């Protein structure tokens, strides 16, 4: 089982190792590292361009904007039928949301368009 390969207790989870082989202290630290890595791919892989999309935006807007973007970028005409995703906004426990707001790396989050929610 995977549990035999991951040294973790219920109260001491291991998420992944950082480049310096130390452990990430919590999942949001791991997320920030993954965001920075992802955003560095354009230069590292010499990509012409890419667009990070927020899941919430695609749910709210549907996929037509994405189809339009691809058509324009590649000068092609789509033959697909854009769709709408359905997902209600989930409610976070206020204490958990406060923990996320406090512990998120907002410099990394802003690289993909997120910012802390206003508390007013």
pLDDT tens digits, one per residue of 38-88: 888 888 888 777 788 888 888 888 889 989 998 998 899 999 888 887 766
How far apart are alpha carbons 39 and 42 in whole angstroms? 7
The better pLDDT of the pair 92, 105 is held by 105
Helix, strand, or coil here: 16? Answer: coil
pTM of the predicted protein model: 0.69
**Average confidence (pLDDT) over 92-98:** 89
pLDDT of residue 10: 56
How far apart are alpha carbons 8 and 33 in whole angstroms? 21
Nearest to 13 by CA among 21, 23, 4: 23
pLDDT of residue 33: 92
The better pLDDT of the pair 113, 17 is held by 113
pLDDT classification of 3: cutoffs 50, 70, 90: very low
């Amino acid at each position: 089982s995977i549990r035999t390969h991951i040294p973790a207790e219920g109260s001491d989870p291991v998420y992944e190792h950082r480049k310096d082989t130390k452990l990430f202290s919590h999942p949001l630290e791991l997320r920030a590292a993954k965001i920075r890595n992802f955003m560095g791919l354009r230069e590292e892989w010499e990509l012409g361009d890419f667009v990070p999309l927020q899941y919430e935006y695609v749910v709210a807007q549907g996929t037509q904007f994405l189809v339009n973007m691809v058509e324009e970028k590649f000068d092609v005409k789509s033959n697909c039928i854009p769709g709408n995703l359905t997902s209600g906004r989930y409610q976070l426990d206020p204490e958990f949301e406060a923990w996320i707001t406090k512990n998120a790396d907002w410099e990394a989050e802003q690289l993909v368009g997120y910012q802390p929610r206003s508390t007013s």
